[in-house]
Amino acid sequence: MAADPIDATQIACSPDDARRRIKENWIRVCDEVAQAATQTGRGATDVRVVGVSKYVDAEVTGWLVKAGCRDLGENRPQVLMQKADWFSANEPDVAGEIRWHQIGHLQRNKVRRLLAFKPLIHSVDSERVLDEIHNEAISQSISVDVLMEVNVSDEAAKTGLPVVELPGLFERHCSRVASADSGEFGARVIGLMAMAGWGTDPQQARPQFARLRDLRDQMRQQTNLALPELSMGMSGDYAAAIAEGATMVRIGSSLFSGVLK
């Protein structure tokens, strides 16, 4: 599924054109996100755009950062870590401003090293991974923000926790946090994430986004967690996601349009 990220010699145009196109794309996407946000009565900057840079290598990712993007999403933890190291070495001035987002499946054996990069982890899709992040964060004396990824489509092929597992998982997690003396350290669940899946049209995606928001509201009622964040919406369906309350949209291909072959 994950093709290797392309580099500056493999793009569809000259590097100068690519930089210009990425900048135009970034401005256009931000405008459209701002417009969709204000239509729901929120502020123009209330919905955060996570630039999904998995399609391109670190250098081309740097062009997106130059365009103004400071939130970068990667689906493979290995690549996230390599790129973060690349920015520290090659773009030290902006490296500290970048917020990394782990948006793809995370294996437990990658958790320990990933935490050093202070990512927001969107894709916690099992209780085992949540426990691993929690334990590891406590042992490193840090707090890690995470989102639980939920399968809101009821299709077996889709990623994320089955909806029926959410109440039990939240209950056990909250009672663990309450009974342990770990202070502010550990995994902090700040919301939910879902994918409508590739090729789903926005009309079909919208009820799935509404379902994720309802689940968030239910988990809020059941626990005393604030759960402010809803990460939902990609290039093809982010307007629908924002209409249903998305606070973060994960956008890749729209930002690289005209640049990728």
Ligand X SMILES: *Cc1c(COP(=O)(O)O)cnc(C)c1O
Q: Quick one: 37 or 194, whose CB is closer to ligand X?
A: 194
d(CA 150, CA 147): 9
Q: Which DSSP letter does residue 38 get?
A: H
Among 54, 101, 134, 173, which residue interacts with ligand X (rule: CB under 6 A)? 54
* CB 47, CB 248: distance < 8 Å: yes
- Binding to ligand X (CB under 6 A) within 33-52 occurs at 52
148 CB burial (10 A radius; 0-12, 13-18, 19+)? buried
Burial (CB count <10 Å: 0-12, 13-18, 19+), residue 256: buried
29 lies in the binding site for ligand X (CB under 6 A): no
For residues 177 and 188, the answer to whether their CB atoms sit within 8 Å is: no
Q: Contact, 251 vs 46, CB < 8 A?
A: no
Q: Which is nearer to ligand X, 76 or 220 (CB)?
A: 76
Q: In the range 70-89, which residues lie near ligand X by CB under 6 A?
A: 75
Kindly give, in sequence order, each residue whose CB lies less than 8 Å from that of residue 8, ignoring residues fewer than 6 positions away.
15, 18, 57, 59, 60
The residue type found at 23 is: K
Work out whether 246 is an interface residue with ligand X (CB under 6 A).
Answer: no
State the virtual CA torsion across 137, 180, 231, 150 in degrees, nearest 10: 110
Candidate list 67, 84, 227, 234; residue touching ligand X; CB under 6 A: 234
- By C-beta, is 148 or 234 nearer to ligand X? 234
Q: Is 253 in the site for ligand X (CB under 6 A)?
A: yes
Interface residues for ligand X in 101-120 (CB under 6 A)?
103-104
Shortest Cβ 104–ligand X spacing (Å): 5
> Per-residue x/- marks for ligand X, 175-214, CB under 6 A?
--------------------x-------------------
**Nearer to ligand X among residue 10 and residue 198 (C-beta):** 198
Q: Closest CB to ligand X among 186 and 254?
A: 254
Is residue 252 a contact point for ligand X (CB under 6 A)? yes
C-beta of 19 vs 54, nearer to ligand X: 54
CA 43 to chain centre: 20
Pick from 19, 134, 213, 250 the residue near ligand X by CB under 6 A: 250
Residues 6 or more apart whose Cβ sits within 8 Å of residue 20: none
Q: Which is nearer to ligand X, 38 or 235 (CB)?
A: 235
Question: Site residues (CB under 6 A) for ligand X?
Answer: 52, 54, 75, 103-104, 195, 234-236, 250-254
